[in-house]
Amino acid sequence: MGFGGVLPIIRRVMVDDRRWLTQTEFNELFSLCQSLPGANVVNLSFAFGAREGGASGAVAAVTGLLSAPVSIVLVLAGLYARFGGLAPVRHALLGLAATAAGLALGSALRIASPILTVPRNMLLAAAVYGLAFGLHISLPLIVLGMLPLSLALSWRLVP
């Protein structure tokens, strides 16, 4: 079970524990899934399930990913409706939010570490970060601008 995103858990299981994918394969598949509409982890589950078992594998993977969390969220929503106004509950939720932020940051760093060993990739990542957080440019505009640049650089530099 996870909160604040299960990507760190999925990466650990798929890459470290089960060795279904290498870190590079995981990064490539996850990059593809980020470009698709919808939740990245659901897309990843669908793509991996389809790769391993076709259409039925995709359905099984997404069902397996979502059935327990949806059930838990429904129960928690009922509990929150009843007890959400209590101070201890509000404080506990603040702690969970901080933990979720740490998990997201840790996951991002783990996924980025093999990619950022190439100076060109570090410059592209810094440029995207600066555009998004420094200049507050919208993500679709950043993708439209950076995608051709990164493709051109990769095309020229990859043998």
- Any idea where the domains of the chain sit in the sequence? 1-115, 116-159
* Contact residues for 45 (Cβ-Cβ < 8 A; gap 6+): 10, 61, 62, 64, 65
Query: What's the rounded Cα separation, in Å, for the pair 10 and 20?
Result: 11
3-class state of residue 1 by DSSP = coil
Q: Are 46 and 62 in contact (CB under 8 A)?
A: yes
Query: What's the rounded Cα separation, in Å, for the pair 80 and 89?
Result: 8
Query: What's the rounded Cα separation, in Å, for the pair 152 and 21?
Result: 27
H helix intervals, 84-118: 87-115
Q: Are 73 and 54 in contact (CB under 8 A)?
A: no
The first and second tokens of residue 101, run together, are 């932020």
pLDDT tens for the chain, residues 1 to 159 = 455 568 888 999 999 999 999 999 999 999 999 888 988 999 999 999 999 999 999 999 999 999 998 999 999 999 999 999 999 999 999 999 999 899 888 888 888 888 888 888 899 999 999 999 999 999 999 999 999 998 888 777 655
Torsion of CA 74, 40, 94, 69, to 10 degrees: 20
Query: What's the rounded Cα separation, in Å, for the pair 22 and 52?
Result: 15
